[in-house]
């Protein structure tokens, strides 16, 4: 009795390969929305904004900052935060102490030894070098807010919705939290 072995081994390998390839997108779809934040370099985000306008969320961190690592492991892994960041923002991780030159608006932003920081980080944070810090820019590269210090998912998410959905154009943050966020998100 021949059974299932009527095709050569090579053919079965090809069939198995095609089954895996065909099911991969379906399995990825079942997992739901992205499980992690899509991070970009600052230069990538600037190019993307010019093609498809979105807000820029900048996480300003350092390698030695303990609370920065907590935000990476907790805040930036929270499903609501991940969803809002990926939907409304180009998310950027900017090492404040990078020695790389970052070009922005035709000008080089370089490491300044005296401040132990990159000029772009200094400008984004108005020279108040607190880590972690978050800066949110609109699609015209105007800074809307600086959030200093550790942000829990519960504390950060309202800001993401407030700026991402452009509520900031029509109401103050306290009013938004009370009238809109509390009703829609239960917070």
| Sign of the alpha-carbon torsion through 77, 83, 89, 90 | positive
For 51-86, give one letter per residue: b (16+ CB within 10 A) or e: eeebbbbbbbbbeebeebeebbeebbebeebbbbbe
Assigned domain for 100 exists: yes
Distances (CA, A) of 178 to 56, 160, 166, 175: 25, 15, 16, 5
Distance (Å, whole) CA 74 – CA 134: 15
Q: Which of 36, 52, 51 is nearest to 86 (CA)?
A: 36
Assigned domain for 87 exists: yes
Which pLDDT tens digits describe the chain residue by residue (187 residues)?
455 555 566 555 655 545 444 454 444 444 455 589 999 999 999 999 999 999 999 999 999 999 999 999 999 999 999 999 999 999 999 999 999 999 999 999 999 999 999 999 999 999 999 999 999 999 999 999 999 999 999 999 999 999 999 999 999 999 999 999 999 887 6
- Cβ count within 10 A of residue 24: 10
Distance (Å, whole) CA 137 – CA 143: 4
Assigned domain for 116 exists: yes
What backbone torsions phi and psi does residue 65 show, to the nearest 5 degrees?
-80, 115
Taking a C-beta distance cutoff of 8 angstroms, is the pair 166, 180 a contact?
no
Assigned domain for 49 exists: yes
pLDDT value of position 21: 44
Q: Tally the domains of the chain.
A: 1
Assigned domain for 133 exists: yes
Assigned domain for 26 exists: no
Q: Which of 152, 149, 146, 168 is nearest to 81 (CA)?
A: 152
**Domain CATH for 126:** 3.40.30.10
pLDDT value of position 69: 97
pLDDT value of position 111: 97
pTM of the model: 0.80
pLDDT value of position 35: 84
Domain of residue 82: give its range.
Answer: 39-150
Angle at 33 between CA 31 and CA 34, to 5 degrees: 95
Assigned domain for 155 exists: no
Assigned domain for 4 exists: no
């Amino acid at each position: 009795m021949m059974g299932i072995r009527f095709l050569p081994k090579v053919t079965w390998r090809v069939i198995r390969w095609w089954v895996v390839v065909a099911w991969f997108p379906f399995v990825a779809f079942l997992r739901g929305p992205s499980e992690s934040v899509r991070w970009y370099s600052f230069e990538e985000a600037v190019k993307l904004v010019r093609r498809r306008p979105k807000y820029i969320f900048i996480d300003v961190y350092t390698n030695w900052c303990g609370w920065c690592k907590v935000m990476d492991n907790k805040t930036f892994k929270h499903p609501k935060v991940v969803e809002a960041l990926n939907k409304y923002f180009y998310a950027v991780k900017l090492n404040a102490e990078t020695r790389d030159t970052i070009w922005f608006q035709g000008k080089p932003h370089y490491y300044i030894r005296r401040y132990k920081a990159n000029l772009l980080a200094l400008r984004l944070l108005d020279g108040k070098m607190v880590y972690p810090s978050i800066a949110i820019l609109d699609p015209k590269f105007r800074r809307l807010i600086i959030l200093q210090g550790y942000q829990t998912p519960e504390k950060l998410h309202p800001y993401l919705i407030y700026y991402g959905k452009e509520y900031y154009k029509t109401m103050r943050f306290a009013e938004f939290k009370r009238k809109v966020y509390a009703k829609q998100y239960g917070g």
